Structure 1
Amino acid sequence: MAAYHTRSNSLPSRQHPLISEFEDQLCRLRSSDEASSSATSLACKLSELQDLHDCVDKLLLLPLNQQGLNKEQNEKLVNELLDGSLRLLDVCNAAKDALQQTKESTQELQSIIRRRRGGESSLSSEVKKFLNSRKTVKKALHKAMENKCTFSLLNKDQEIVSMLKEVQSVTLAVFESMFSFISGPKSSSWSLVSKLMNSKKVSCEEANKLNEFANADAVLNSLLISQKSKKSDSTLEENAQNELQKLEMCIQDLEGVESFYRRLIKARVSLLNILNH
């Protein structure tokens, strides 16, 4: 990553303390670019991401940076910055909606399993509803990532512009990792379904290869198949309840997306004020 203490037309020639803070925060996020394997690690990234955006807000308030982003002189750049901030909002909103929809479906299905009185057909219908909701979520996340195109950013000689591009890039990387986590690996999930249906022992190590979203999908798919074949399986129902509880706890760990979304909205308002000053 380029150092941001070189001479530029938008930042002081002497390194500003905020630039060192920015570099440190960016390096921490870059060092953990690999796909996250737990909700805890993703939640940590979200917290670090918020710190990074807070630092950029402070940098944007520096007089020289505000002059460099003057709308009259850099109209095309301003439009790109605003478009980029909208794309980040769209991506974050997709994650927020996906978690909210899955949480509601999870709580509803848990309640139905606990107070189940309507027989196997009733449970089958509710499991289908949950799985269909998961398909809708996955499609929405896939669409959101298709529309995440980065913006090129003109006038890259301005260091504040290069920094904003870095922020956009690492933000998208974090949410791409989160989208992958929520969607889960389809092939591995169906392998677990097959083992569950054939009454083969599924070891903790095998289950841990998948996250809470994929494990819930696998157990509920196997339960649905069992229901369709008219074979009642109390073990599968118990497993489903356990996995749904784990999924709900996992979603709670990721609910920092909500506060980060509000933070991005606030940042966009601040950016609009600076660019239109």
Structure 2
Amino acid sequence: MVTGFSRSISLPLSPRRSSKNSRAASYHIRSVSLPCRSHPLISHLEEQIQVIRSWAASADGSSSWIETGLSQIEILLMAIKEFLHRSQTQEILCHAISTEGLLDDFLLLADLHGSFLSAIVTLKQHQAEVQSAIRRADKVCLVSALRSQRHVEKEIAQLAMCLKNVSKSRSLGFASGASEVEIAGIFVEAVNATAVASVAVFSGVAAMSASTSSMKNWSTMRSFKKLACNSLTKNTVSDDDEFSVFEKLEEFEVCLRNVESCSERVFRRLINLRVSLLNISTPTL
């Protein structure tokens, strides 16, 4: 038996071939187990990471911006899934030390997005209570509903804080080889980008909710009665402040419906990704 043999993961070209085509050599000198950086799946994944980071950097807090962010997160997760399903990727992650850390990250992302989805459902309920209180001119119920809404806002803000722990770069110092560093590095980048975008979405929803739950919009019984009257009679609201209140309520209601739908898809994709990664790290005997 031959001992002391170690498998090489990087096969440089022969001098003859490299002299003929040095440009081709730059693309093929990487590991035979890894797709090179020009591979469409890697290029697509890296492109989606850049797109979602650009979206997060252009925050405007609008409902359309929030919904776009969730859609971009879903697209990024789909790109991660495509890359994860490559046999070369699975072969490396099956034995990679860093896989356990990635499992933890995906679990945390799924847990926080699941909690966020539950918070969105609760916010929708409180918004219905707010509008019902307006129709009935019930200030006591209105104050109670707005107080409950602000409590959910704080919960969502706390979820965003927890996500910031995931967005910090994970160290790859314990990676066993260059191939693992490269594959795990791509996944870490994608997880970080997902976390950064999720923080922006969570914070955006909390801020939008706060703009509707602020008690300064309902400071006096007189203004509240005018709002209730306008709601009941469906008259045109002439006062700018009153119109702004109704506009915010309507916009936020539509936003919550869309966010709930998008969040359900993102949550399912996170769960499926973690299950796939778990199956790779613990293959059936």
- Structure 2 length normalisation: TM-score? 0.72
Asked whether 1:125 is paired with 2:140, we answer yes
8 Å contact kept, 2:74–2:265: no
* 1:249 partnered with 2:254: yes
Work out the percentage of aligned pairs sharing the same amino acid: 30
In the alignment, what sits opposite 1:142?
Answer: 157
Instruction: Kindly state the Cα deviation for residue 98 of structure 1 after the two structures are TM-superposed.
Output: 2.3
Report the counterpart of residue 44 of structure 2 in structure 1. Answer: 21
CA contact (8 A) 1:5 1:16 kept: no
* Aligned pairs (5 A) from 1:60-139: 60-70=84-94, 73-74=95-96, 76-114=97-135, 116=136, 123-139=138-154
Alpha-carbon distance, 1:177 to partner: 1.1
1:175 aligns with 2:198: yes
Q: Which has the greater radius of gyration?
A: 2
* Gap change, CA 1:241 and 1:5, over 3 Å in 2: farther
Q: Among residues 245, 255, 268, which one is paired with 2:274 in the alignment?
A: 268
Unaligned runs of 5+ in 2: 1-26, 231-241
Counterpart check, 1:226 vs 2:250: no
Secondary structure in 2 matching 1:11: coil
Q: CA deviation at 1:259?
A: 1.4
User: How far did 1:243 drift?
Assistant: 3.3
CA contact (8 A) 1:153 1:161 kept: no
**1:88·1:172 contact (CA, 8 Å) conserved in 2?**
yes
Which amino acid in 2 is paired with 1:126?
C
Q: Deviations over 1:175-213 (max 9, x none)?
A: 2112221222xxxxxxxxxxxxxxxxxxxxxxxxxx4x3
Q: TM-score, normalised by structure 1?
A: 0.74
- Contact kept in structure 2, 1:153 and 1:165, CA below 8 Å: no
Q: 1:5 to 1:176 in 2, by over 3 A?
A: farther
Q: Tell me which stretches of 4 or more aligned residues in structure 1 moved more than 6 Å.
A: none
Residue identity in the other structure for 1:180: S
Conserved 8 A contact 2:30-2:36: yes
> Counterpart of 1:258?
264
Counterpart residue identity of residue 169, structure 1: N
Distance (Å, rounded) in 2 between the aligned partners of 1:161 and 1:9: 17
Which amino acid is 1:98 matched to? A
For residues 235 and 245 of structure 1, what CA distance do their matches in structure 2 show? 18
Is the 2:66–2:205 Cα contact (8 Å) retained in structure 1?
Answer: no
Matched to 1:245, the amino acid is E
- Distance in 2, matches of 1:27 and 1:14, equals 15
Task: Provide closer, same or farther for how the CA distance between residues 221 and 258 of structure 1 changes in structure 2, counting only shifts above 3 A.
Answer: farther
Q: How many residues align?
A: 233
Q: RMSD of the TM alignment (CA)? A: 2.6
Superposed CA offset, 1:130-153 (max 9, x none): 222222212212322333313624
Provide closer, same or farther for how the CA distance between residues 23 and 232 of structure 1 changes in structure 2, counting only shifts above 3 A: closer
The Cα offsets for residues 151-185 of structure 1, whole Å up to 9 and x where unpaired, read as 6243284222111111111111112112221222x
Counterpart of 2:212 in structure 1 is 216
